[in-house]
Amino acid sequence: MNKITSCQLLSLLLLQGIWEILCIPSIPGSGMLWGALGAYLVQLLLLLPLLHGETGLFRRKWVGLVFAGYFLIAGARNLCQIASAAPDALLSVSGRWTAAALLLVTCLYTSAAGIKAAARCAPLTLGLLALSVLILTAGAWQHIVPERFYWERGGIREGGALFFTAAELPMLWVLRHRLEGSAHRTLLGYTLAKSGFLALLVFLCITAGGRLAQSADYPFFTLTALSQPLQGQRADALYILLFVMLCVMQITMQAGLTAHLLEELFPKLRHTAPAILLTMLGLSGGLGFRTLDGLTAMLLPVLAFGIPCTLLLLGQLKRRAAA
């Protein structure tokens, strides 16, 4: 895998993080925003000091295996999310199984192209996301009732739980040494942009969508149905295109990262993407979303913070002992 730019890494991190926000099953109240912002701040404060040091993370074979296993599980979890969160407009065209098969074939092709190809496409996908957000905001603006947004405790726990869904943070450690630019600025920009997107979504769902958007499953897609700014033409096609591209990007990155780590650990392995995708598909069908979600939630703090912090401290102790 060649070098990637700061813009590409920022786009990859944001697309992974925003996917989790789009798949939020419900927004209980404005407290969800405060809980999530607190979780993002804690992530930032934990990661910034670790990025200053040299952990030698992937010099140890077992670390690469653990990260590869995590990405495999995270990819299976994403497949479950796609099946549950996909808007009806996407699945009603050709049926659920046909749509899933077409997405899988597309992911097979894109994951075989490697992480570098996904990194090149990420800024374009992020641009489509920005356009969709502008259209969504323009359509929802006339329906906003500011008095609906007020301080409440409802949702604080659900917002704090987003701390354990940031699958993009382990990805940051894998791509860090391939980065041409500052990892610290990229992390800061990612945190600010992700927080801003969540704040906008929560604000629009509460003030424009009201209780309908809050109580409905997957409020983002409910909000898109309520927000139609183009006269005589619904914007559903744009949101469906965005959802498909985010789906492909999610699975491509999880499969690509797994393949990258395995092929670095075992140089004789080649063209592992098809086997990895089939394994993800088997795990998603065999374990189900709850089990996979629990596994990723337990592994995320260990991989994103625990292992890098431990190896960084051990390295400093060895250097002091040698001195």
Segments making up each domain of the chain, as ranges: 4-322
Of the pLDDT bands very low, low, confident and very high (cuts 50, 70, 90), residue 235 is: low
d(CA 217, CA 227): 17
Mean pLDDT of 12-37: 85
Is residue 188 pLDDT above 80, yes or no?
Answer: yes
d(CA 228, CA 136): 7
Ramachandran class of 27: left when φ > 0, alpha when ψ lies in -120 to 50, beta otherwise: beta
Mean pLDDT of 17-22: 87
Q: Where are the alpha helices (DSSP H) in the chain?
A: 6-22, 31-52, 61-85, 88-91, 96-113, 115-140, 156-160, 168-175, 183-204, 210-215, 219-226, 236-265, 273-301, 307-322
Mean pLDDT of 288-311: 87
The string of pLDDT tens digits covering residues 104-116 is: 788 888 877 778 8
**pLDDT score at 80:** 84
CATH of 4-322, one of 2.40.50.140, 1.10.357.10, 3.40.1160.10, 1.20.1740.10: 1.20.1740.10
Mean pLDDT of 180-190: 83
67-77 burial: b if 16+ Cβ within 10 Å, else e: bbbbbbbbbbb
C-beta neighbour count of 300 within 10 angstroms: 21
Of the pLDDT bands very low, low, confident and very high (cuts 50, 70, 90), residue 219 is: confident
Of the pLDDT bands very low, low, confident and very high (cuts 50, 70, 90), residue 102 is: confident
Phi/psi at 179 (5° precision): -90, 135
Which residue, 144, 146, 138, is CA-closest to 228? 138
136-159 burial: b if 16+ Cβ within 10 Å, else e: bbebbeeebeeebbeeeeebbebb
Give the helix/strand (H/E) hosting 5. strand 4-5
The least confident of 71-85, 171-185, 233-247, 288-302 is: 233-247
Structure tokens belonging to residue 307: 């292992």
